[in-house]
Structure 1
């Protein structure tokens, strides 16, 4: 399944997307693990504090901390 992972910074009144990556994974758990690996390997202009995972149709499947402290 194709997932879209979006890394962003969240502030009181706005969100700033830092990077958006397409990832092929078999399950949401595998996509979360891939997102954690990407968090540590991507060169982003700032350190993201949140991530969002959507399916190929744009439906949000997960939104939470970008540091890997998620519960799936």
Structure 2
């Protein structure tokens, strides 16, 4: 199929591709390391997070319900 310098060019390209893949993975590994220890969440922190999510959900629901475009049906 390919002979001579075409084969050499293909092998060089494959070598460059593998080099780039290994460099990218090494850079990703360096970026993932964090300079601080992860803090375990306490029960009060979990409750606070849940209440914030609930408040946000309620606000979004009320915003949709109060908008003139929403169609609400009384049962």
- Whether TM exceeds 0.5 here: the answer is no
TM-score (norm 1): 0.23
Structure having the higher helix fraction is 2
Structure having the higher strand fraction is 1
TM-score (norm 2): 0.22
